[in-house]
Amino acid sequence: MSLLTDYYGVALAVLSLVLTLIWYLKNSSSWRYRNLPPGPLGLPILGILPYLDEKNPSVDVLRMSKRYGPIFGGFLGSHRAVFLNDYDTIKETFARTDDVFSDRPRIAIFELYSDGQGVACCYLENHWKEQRRFTLRALRNYGMGRLQGSLRNAIDVEVSHLMTAMSKIKKPFDPRIYVESAVCNITCKMVFGRRYEYEDAQFTEFLHNLEKIFELSGVAGVVNYLSWMKYVPFSGYHALGDCVRHLENGLFTKECEEHQKVFDPNRSPRDLIEAFLLELHKKQQEKVENNGEDMRPTGFNHQQMLHFIADVFAAGTDTTASTLKWSLIHLMKFEDEQRKIQEELDHVIGRDRMPSLEDKPNLPYTQAFLAESLRYGCAGPLGVPHGAKDDTKLRGYDIPKGTVIVANLYAVLYDPKVFPEPDKFNPSRFIDEEGRVKTSLIERAHSQFGIGRRQCVGMDMALMERFVFITNLIHRFNARAPNGPDSVTIDARGGLAFVPMPFEMQLTER
């Protein structure tokens, strides 16, 4: 036994030595770059990871930026990283048209999700521009950002189902699964062309799988930066990839095959799978007309279709659901705000019909509440990391190729120069003296969707969902915390995403 322990100890010591040596060699490459951004040196192997509160890393990043400036550097485990800490710096970096900062870094999460394919996880060289353009066009053709169209219908139908389901519950309940089901169903309708009943076993399993992916993405938060963790059993590293593959090879493949059987290239696409099949068909036609040669390199193939679907679900469901859960929390915590929205809805819409998207311009306070809730909840405080495509410069600093670039969106949304007293929930900050919304300030709150060339392509969809969901709920019901507003916590299950803790809500018909 003691011999075994000795061997174990020696093996650990050797492993630590090797890892320290690797870290040292990586770090010592700094001499090649004369003017790296300033920042804490960090610890061997872990870099600055131990300085970041696991629950709330963005606050620590902001604290460090007070010492080192809006651009500072450090090692996240074995990866060189640069942190951007105000709106202008992020905009200047991520809006660069040479796309040198538009890549995704080579970290575990992107590798595991789709090996750098798909859209949200797509490396530049895997036809990111083509895939992003296609996704944006497909979402708009489906009705994103429009008053009429399939998306609007899908949202209206789903919210109506949700209201019926919620109206049957007469005691305090946990609304999270309802919110997740409704949001996921809107995406199902858009991607597959169908929605599911909330009790459907296949749907419940799908939701469970998505939830597991989000949970494991949290694990990948640390694993992302400690690449050797992939060799550590039970680190959760491979579980995330397994989970995504389970969905891709199961439900997504089944849906794609069923769509393929009835696909008609002469018909306008009815959902996102048909839109992808049509694009694939066009590329194949082009190739035939070009004597079997690709006209130009393209990312459209069957494998990419599965990654595309996975990305739309992964990027669009949990994010939107989280922001909606935060809004429910804010409605219960700040009852006065709920009352003000209800007064506005009663005044503008009356009690005889439900609110709809057309009403939005006439509801400034409601818009202000939604923007403030998005800002205050700050569901994705560190956004999605970018990567430097080549060796480059940023405000005079050397940025080596492959550097992970992190935009601290929390710093933008809690910037006291733009949002005075940022820790106070105050929708009125978005309203001017004439009672109109301050559009430019609302746009700033939308930094939650990222800034620049990789900004969220589903932003308008999420905004539509948020508006219809919250206005319909509050017009029909009073939403109260069973133990009063003071019992409502705004603490989050922290990490990369800021997800609300479990909570209960009591609805009564108005």
Nearer residue to ligand HEM within complex by CB, 163 or 462:
462
Closest CB to ligand HEM among residues 46, 62: 62
Among candidates 108, 56, 89, 192, which has minimal Cα distance to 404? 108
| 448 is an interface residue for ligand HEM by CB under 6 A | yes
Instruction: Give the shortest CB-5-to-ligand HEM separation in angstroms.
Output: 47
CB 453, min distance to ligand HEM, A: 7
> 256 a known binding residue?
no
Site for ligand HEM in 130-149 (CB under 6 A): 132, 135, 139
Looking from the CA of 337 toward its CB, the CA atoms found within 13 Å total: 27
Regarding 384 and contact with ligand HEM (CB under 6 A), the answer is yes
Name the minimum Å distance from CB 374 to ligand HEM.
Answer: 7
Stretch that binds ligand HEM, among 106-114, 289-297, 455-463, 495-503 (CB under 6 A): 455-463
Residue 320 as a binder of ligand HEM (CB under 6 A): the answer is: yes
CA distances from 406 to 9, 58, 318, 369 (A): 37, 10, 21, 28
Q: With H, G, I as helix, E, B as strand and everything else as coil, classify residue 113.
A: helix
Q: Does 422 bind ligand HEM (CB under 6 A)?
A: no
Amino acid letter for position 186: I
| Cα 198 from Cα 286, distance rounded (Å) | 42
Note whether 379 binds ligand HEM by CB under 6 A: yes
Task: Give the separation between CA 310 and CA 316, rounded to whole angstroms.
Answer: 10
| 8 Å CB contact between 84 and 90 | yes
> Which of residues 23 and 449 has its CB atom nearest to ligand HEM in the complex?
449
d(CA 383, CA 293): 39
Q: Is 340 helix (H, G, I), strand (E, B) or coil?
A: helix
Q: Which is nearer to ligand HEM, 305 or 457 (CB)?
A: 457
According to CB under 6 A, which one of 256, 312, 370, 445 is a site residue for ligand HEM?
A: 312
Residues numbered 458-487 forming contacts with ligand HEM, rule: CB under 6 A:
458, 461-462
For residue 362, the tally of other CB atoms under 10 A from its CB is 13
Quote helix, strand, coil % in the chain, to nearest 5: 60, 10, 35
The residue (of 132 and 281) whose beta carbon lies closer to ligand HEM is 132
CB of 76 to ligand HEM, least distance (A): 17
Q: Which residue has the tokens 């746009």?
A: 443
CB of 114 or CB of 323, closer to ligand HEM: 323
Torsion, CA 160, CA 164, CA 165, CA 167, rounded to 10: 130
| From 126, 319, 338, 403, residue interacting with ligand HEM (rule: CB under 6 A) | 319
Instruction: Tell me if 410 sits within 8 A of 59, measured CB to CB.
Output: yes
Structure token digits, residue 348: 């503008």
Opening angle at CA 273, ends 247 and 201, nearest 5: 40
Asked if residue 311 binds ligand HEM (CB under 6 A), the reply is: yes
How far is it, in rounded angstroms, from Cα 43 to Cα 449? Answer: 32
Instruction: Assess contact for 48 and 83: CB atoms under 8 A.
Output: no
**Quick one: how far is CA 99 from the chain centroid?**
21
Pairing, β 506-509 against β 492-493: unpaired
With contacts defined by CB under 6 A, name the span among 21-29, 38-46, 158-166, 312-320 that binds ligand HEM: 312-320
Binding flag, residue 81, ligand HEM (CB under 6 A)? no
The rounded Cα 466 to chain-centroid distance in angstroms is 15
Q: Which lies closer to ligand HEM via its Cβ, residue 138 or residue 222?
A: 138
Closer CB to ligand HEM, residue 239 or residue 312?
A: 312
Does position 497 interact with ligand HEM (CB under 6 A)? The reply is no
Q: Which is nearer to ligand HEM, 116 or 355 (CB)?
A: 116
Residue 273 within binding range of ligand HEM, rule CB under 6 A: no
By CB under 6 A, residue 105 contacts ligand HEM: no
By the criterion CB under 6 A, which residues form the site for ligand HEM? 94, 119-120, 132, 135, 139, 311-312, 315-316, 319-320, 323, 379-380, 383-384, 448-450, 454-458, 461-462
Residues making up the annotated binding site are 456
Residues making up the annotated binding site for heme are 456
